[in-house]
Amino acid sequence: MRRLTLLALLATAAPAHALDLTATVLANKTAYIPPQCYTKTEDAQGAVHNPCQTCHTLPRAPNFVSDPDLQQDYAMPGPALENPWTNLFVDRRAAVAATDAEEIRDWVRTDNYRGADGRPVLAARLDRLPPEWDANGDGAWAGYRPDAFFAFDDEGFDHAPDGRRTGWRAFAYVPLPGTFWPTNGSTDDVMIRLPDAYRQTADGTESLAVYKANLAITEALINRADVAIEPMDEAALGVDLNRDGALATATRVAFAFAPLEGVTMHWAGRAGTLGPKEAPLAAGLYPLGTEFLHSVRYLDPRPEGVTMAPRMKELRYMKKTSWQNYADLEEGALAEKKEDADFPDRPKQFFGSAEAGIPNGMGWRLQGFIEDAAGDLRPQSFEETVFCMGCHGSIGTTDDSTFAFPRKLSGPGSFRDGWYHWTQKGLSGTPDLVRADGQGDYAHYLRTNHAGDEFRSNAEVIAAWLEDGDLADDKAAALTADIAPLVTPSPERAIALDAAYRMIVREQSFVKGRDATITPQDATVWRRVEQDAPTGITEPADPWFYRLKR
């Protein structure tokens, strides 16, 4: 019989934590300001680190939230000055060391999303809605009901047990630097789904060719660039994809968007027959009704390497429920800027519920699910969902409130043109993104942050990649071909991070922070910041996508 640690026995005996999903009053009024914003950007030796650039940057329109100034000072409202993310200061070293490695491996390899029939367990629970989850008291779940099966074909399309395509399509991407590197605690994936009209021919017949064409058009719009495609019959699709004036065979989607000059692109299939109110189209914006599904998972150390675990920490969902044009988005960004200037100590306000989700003010509604104390997925509370607004709200680095799709793998040499799930091919062989200035994105991050995470607590990355805080040219060159050696932790670190995070799960203390830290972060994280104090960063870094010369 496998040995159980005292910690595991105590956790097993712990009572379930009550959670009020009807509450919409925040205990932490600034739950949208993430823990990373409390990083001490100057170290004890006076060296300056810049992890802030990952989020706060010059944007590319139609994102009009320009916030590179937040790299330079702690511009927080009064209620946020005391760091509420107290889980960062918990010492978990003894408890992690006492955790049985085999027991934690069994834990992460237990699928808490799908049942024996391959169907989402959470969806069945929502069909029999527990009263404590019924935020509006009507007896029925009003939010997103998990409907992905994580059963992907060779083109990344998800299939139900009966073979039906669900509409979800997985894609591979270069993970955002810092927190989203597996070596810092989690693996993750992202899927996209467009509405029915983008998956049908003009007469309403489901068409895989139409769907692939519209996904490629979406990719071109988000990247503001041409996209290579497999040969497609433009006449059958009803759209001139390559814009050569003839409906023939196309091998690329040509990007074009200058509406004042009468130049624009068009959707394929039934979406192309709809008017601009039903199926609007604009560069930098996703179609109305676009959905994203994002699972955050434990690390699974296996003989072949550390991989994505079956067990989910979280399942995150967002849907574009309203269309905002460029003028709407610019007006919203300016209004928020004015609000911050006029009332610098007033926290942002959020509306919605744990059940219906929370709108981000830019057309998207966000919702999430997270583990309960026993490890089963449950809806996030209102406050736990407001946490998501720190990244998918008003920051400069996103494209239409998202991160992953603009960083999708594609082009010559990319496996399946980037349309695959990480369980079909891992991170090995994934090249670094190339910035507008020619540097690799990861190389730039390491050289300007002098660490592999915001809290500078990842000693493995520092020891292996940064000599005296700097990245050598040969190591930067190695990243251009393969980022996996940098972002993948050792098996020992993976086990420790899994164990540390599970302690937060069993405490149900997500509102105090959900970062898998092991040692107290006092050396690199403020317990309290001084309002508008300088960070020490004198020259804000440009984002990887910045194209304009200054």
Q: Which residues of the chain fall below pLDDT 50? A: 1-17, 547-550
pLDDT of residue 181: 98
pLDDT of residue 9: 34
The encoded tokens of residue 190 equal 């992202």
pLDDT of residue 18: 58
Q: What is the pLDDT of residues 327-384, one digit of tens each?
A: 999 999 999 999 999 999 999 999 999 999 999 999 999 999 999 999 999 999 999 9
- Contact predicate 429/71, CB 8 Å: no
Cα 69 to Cα 66, 114, 399, 536: the distances in Å are: 8, 44, 19, 12
Instruction: Report strand pairing: 165-171 vs 157-159.
Output: antiparallel
Q: What is the pLDDT of residues 75-96, one digit of tens each?
A: 999 999 999 999 999 999 999 9
Rounded to 5°, angle at Cα 38 from 37 and 41: 90
Query: pTM of this prediction?
Result: 0.95
Residue of 524, 509, 486 lying closest to 174 (CA atoms): 486
Helix axes 101-108, 491-507, angle to 10 degrees: 70
Q: Is 11 exposed, middle or buried (0-12, 13-18, 19+ CB in 10 A)?
A: middle
- Contact predicate 412/405, CB 8 Å: no
- Contact predicate 410/226, CB 8 Å: no
Gap between the Cα atoms of 88 and 512, Å rounded: 8
pLDDT of residue 10: 35
Instruction: Give backbone dihedrals phi and psi of 152, rounded to 5 degrees, phi first.
Output: -105, 145
Residue 267: CA count within 13 A, CB half-sphere: 29
| DSSP designation for 69 | G
pLDDT of residue 546: 72
